[in-house]
Amino acid sequence: MAWTKLNEKPRAKYVTVKEFAKQYSMSKAQAYKVLAMPEMQEAVIKTGEKSKRVNLDRAFEIMQQVFA
């Protein structure tokens, strides 16, 4: 019998701010400004005192709604 994993959610892909900026062809400073928007807080997690990680899929969904 083959077991399927239909009820499992795919893991979110978190990347650094530098990788996020590269993905969307923007400067790192501009990426931090975009991520500082209140709408984007759902896509950002803090890892340590200074570093942040971005959920690429969620960030893309939010950016489509905000910048469309």
> Residue 1 pLDDT > 60, yes or no?
no
pTM above 0.95, yes or no: no
pLDDT in tens, 13-44: 899 999 999 999 999 999 999 999 999 999 99
Average confidence (pLDDT) over 60-68: 89
Question: How do 52-55 and 14-16 pair as beta strands?
Answer: antiparallel
